[in-house]
Amino acid sequence: MGVLSKITRNCNHATFLIEKKLIKPLSLRERIFLKIHLIGCDACRLYQEQTIRISQMIKNLFKESPAGNVTLDEVVKKEMQDRIEEKLNQN
């Protein structure tokens, strides 16, 4: 396998670099690899678009859920407070 085809064929490494790039700047070598790879690879270009979108979706999902509607039963809270009081009285 020639040097160039090692770059153009290796989608496994290209997707790895796409993920890394979303978090921190790539090295020069990594940037060149990715750039050359993406020129010829439709699948990885699509992967890049989709994974950016997925990160955004995860962020949205975590932001809005589930804090609003998750609460504890009053009985549970009472039990919690009882154990706090118990411990306070020990000291």
Binding positions for another protein, rule: CB under 8 A? 1, 5-6, 9-13, 15-16, 19-20, 23-24, 43-44, 46-47, 49-51, 53-63, 65-68, 70-72, 76-78, 80-81, 83-85, 87-88, 91
Residues 45 and 49: their CA atoms lie apart, in Å, by 7
Cβ-based neighbours of 10, under 8 Å, separated by 6 or more: 37
Residue (32 or 84) nearer to another protein, CB: 84
Provide, rounded to whole angstroms, the least separation between the CB of residue 41 and another protein: 8
Query: Minimal CA–CA distance to 14: which of 23, 39, 24?
Result: 39
